Amino acid sequence: MLDYFDLVKQKLVFDKPDTIYMIDITYRRVDHRDNWVYPRTQYPVKWFCIKKTEDLDTVKPEVIALCEAMGARAYINTSPRYYLDNIRQACDNLKSDNFIHNKKELYIDKIGLYLGTCPSYDVKYTIDVDTKDIEYKQRVIDHIDSVEGNHDWYWFEIETNKGYHIYAKPFNTTGFKAAFPLTDIVENRGILLYFPQSLTKNE
């Protein structure tokens, strides 16, 4: 079980009146390979909109209960967005020709995804280190330090069930993929908020 609620609370900044962060609970094939019979690799369970720090405490019991019951993970996107901009973007997407003419593709998760399509005003990178090798992780950090010439890019990191996620401010990615071909850098990816004990028992 991995619980990062307290850590994430320290990282959220509500410096604008309609700032929001979004939590999503996701049911993933990677956690249920032995009995996965569904066509897609993951399915949404529920979203939560966080408008103030205290909201994390409010939704935490429900998030944990859903994750444990369904064997799902919870993520939070720590790249903040404006609530009103997201609503406008969602409305524009929902009335688009592409959406209306493909009703057979109308899954409920499209609503949640559309609410996250508005660009963030504070973009973050996620470096997905998919190994528990601490020396490898340090080589990744040292490489970026050498390219940037400083350590200002670094925000924080967490341990995942398979390795580490390093969260960063945007930095120069030149030469990164050549040096670390198996390590991905993803923009505006959700941070692992909760990994359930029910999945840990199955590993």
pLDDT, one tens digit per residue, over 90-119 is 666 666 655 544 444 444 444 444 454 556
Both 77 and 6 in one domain: the answer is yes
Both 117 and 65 in one domain: the answer is yes
Q: How many folded domains does the chain comprise?
A: 2
pLDDT tens string 30-49: 888 888 888 888 888 888 98
Phi, psi of 43 (to 5 degrees): -135, 140
Look at residue 148 in the predicted model and tell me its pLDDT.
Answer: 94
Look at residue 107 in the predicted model and tell me its pLDDT.
Answer: 40
Distance of alpha carbon 46 from alpha carbon 112, whole angstroms: 8
Kindly indicate the confidence band of residue 152, based on its pLDDT and cuts at 50, 70 and 90: very high
Both 67 and 155 in one domain: the answer is no
N- to C-terminal Cα separation, the chain: 11
DSSP letter, residue 198 = H
Look at residue 174 in the predicted model and tell me its pLDDT.
Answer: 85
Owner of token pair 């003419």? 101
Owner of token pair 């998760």? 109
Both 136 and 83 in one domain: the answer is no
Look at residue 77 in the predicted model and tell me its pLDDT.
Answer: 85
What amino acid occupies position 203?
Answer: E
Q: With beta carbons less than 8 A apart as the criterion, state whether 140 and 166 touch.
A: yes
Both 101 and 136 in one domain: the answer is no
Both 27 and 108 in one domain: the answer is yes
Q: With beta carbons less than 8 A apart as the criterion, state whether 11 and 78 touch.
A: yes
Q: Could you tell me the residue range of the domain that residue 28 belongs to?
A: 2-121+192-200
Both 100 and 183 in one domain: the answer is no
Both 133 and 99 in one domain: the answer is no
Distance of alpha carbon 103 from alpha carbon 96, whole angstroms: 12
Kindly indicate the confidence band of residue 16, based on its pLDDT and cuts at 50, 70 and 90: confident
Distance of alpha carbon 13 from alpha carbon 81, whole angstroms: 11
Q: How far is CA 71 from the centre of its chain?
A: 17
Both 37 and 111 in one domain: the answer is yes
Give pTM, 2 decimals: 0.76
Owner of token pair 């020396």? 135
Both 9 and 102 in one domain: the answer is yes
Higher pLDDT, 18 or 99: 18
Both 91 and 6 in one domain: the answer is yes
pLDDT tens string 122-149: 788 999 999 999 999 999 999 999 999 9
Look at residue 87 in the predicted model and tell me its pLDDT.
Answer: 65
Sign of CA dihedral 117, 54, 167, 190: negative
Q: What is the mean pLDDT of residues 14-42?
A: 85
Both 179 and 79 in one domain: the answer is no
Residues in the chain: 203
Look at residue 6 in the predicted model and tell me its pLDDT.
Answer: 93
